[in-house]
Amino acid sequence: MSKSLRLSEKWFHRGLWLVAFIFAWFLVGLGSTVVGDLPRVEQRHQLEDFMDPEQRTAVNAQILGARQASKVAQDGLEQAQLGLQAAQADNRAARETFSNWLATRRVTERAEQDQALLERTRELDVLRKAEREAQGAVEAQQQAALNARQAQSRGESELREMEEAASANLREAQRAQELRVFLYRLALTLPLLVAAGWLFATKRKSTYWPFVWGFIFFALFAFFVELVPYLPSYGGYVRYLVGIVLTVVGGRYAIQALQRYLERQKQAEALPDTQRRKDMNYDLALTRLSKNVCPGCERTVDLKDGKTDFCPHCGLCLFDQCAHCKARKSAFALFCFSCGASARREDAPAPETLQVNEAVKAVEEGDAPDVAGVPV
């Protein structure tokens, strides 16, 4: 069709298509922002929302207290172990000293050293007692640490059970929330798609067609690009069902459109030749002729031989003769390419009729021309 347009008209059309794309780009940006912000209408759920607050607080406090007690017990255990090591070292050193002293006494066998033996023995008993006390302190701290760890383990186990019970409720709530958000998006994009279909069917050739096409591009992008990634999975059922529904609706529309088209073509081909050419779009007819296609039935016709004047498929007149210079020209041309004369209207008399009328008028005036070959 662009071949039959004026040069300036072509650039105007290109500019209008640019307007359509720019308009669609801004609409797509606005739609993306709205679709992206739709989840904010729903409160985002967390795991804590499905747990008993008082029980969760008590369990967390138990775990925290157990951790603190474990830390205190661990610090005390380290101190007690150091004390035990010191007591053991003192006891060990005192025993070594006592053993050496006892060996010396056996050699000397001095009776005055019996009192010293008793004192040294009492000192060893004191050191041994201190070691036992240090060992008891270590065992007490170990027991405290064990109790703290067990309390912490019980609290964490109870918290895990609460979280597992809440996780199932959280997943169910999230699925319901995703479905609601998807329905919000569908309620926003589906009317846009319906409006785009109505505009395509009724307004795509109107004066403001760039805005119509811009809105159509936006609606298609919003539905098939912005909406599809948010389709809930549910094992793929929703995605496949939506695809099946869209395919059935689109296929049914295409089949019905084809049937309507064939019916219109059948009715159009039954009309007289002059009526058919009068009802055809001028630019569309010239475009199809330039592609060796019949403007009426849209079948391929060989127009390069220079002899084909009628479509062999539907009988539509494609080329005729100029009423002024008899040059062969397109039957859809408004002016003759050879002489520039205006193409005769469909209701004007044929050239043969004009010749007969001129011959009759000459005979009536007494001038007898040679009318041989003129059909009467």
Place of tokens 């010396």: 104
Tell me if 162 sits within 8 A of 59, measured CB to CB: yes
Q: Which residues pair with 328 in a beta bridge?
A: 321
- DSSP code per residue over 234-261: GGGHHHHHHHHHHHHHHHHHHHHHHHHH
> Phi and psi for 136 in degrees, rounded to 5?
-65, -40
This model's pTM is above 0.85: no
Q: Would you give per-residue pLDDT tens digits along the chain (376 residues)?
A: 455 556 666 777 788 888 888 888 888 888 778 777 766 666 676 767 777 778 778 878 888 888 888 888 888 878 878 877 877 777 777 777 767 666 666 655 555 556 666 677 777 777 777 777 878 788 888 888 888 888 888 888 888 888 887 888 878 887 777 777 778 877 888 888 888 888 888 888 888 888 888 888 888 888 777 776 666 555 456 556 767 887 888 788 888 888 887 787 777 777 777 777 777 777 888 888 888 888 888 888 887 877 888 888 888 888 888 888 888 888 888 888 888 888 754 444 344 444 444 444 444 444 444 434 333 3
Other beta carbons within 10 Å of 62: 17
Domains in the chain: boundaries = 1-232, 236-270, 273-341, 346-376
pLDDT at 114: 62
Rg (CA), the chain: 52
Tell me if 227 sits within 8 A of 186, measured CB to CB: yes
**C-alpha separations of 258 from 252, 262, 276 in Å:** 10, 6, 20
Please, is 88 exposed, middle or buried when counting C-beta atoms within 10 Å of its C-beta (0-12, 13-18, 19+)? middle
pLDDT at 145: 82
d(CA 331, CA 227): 50
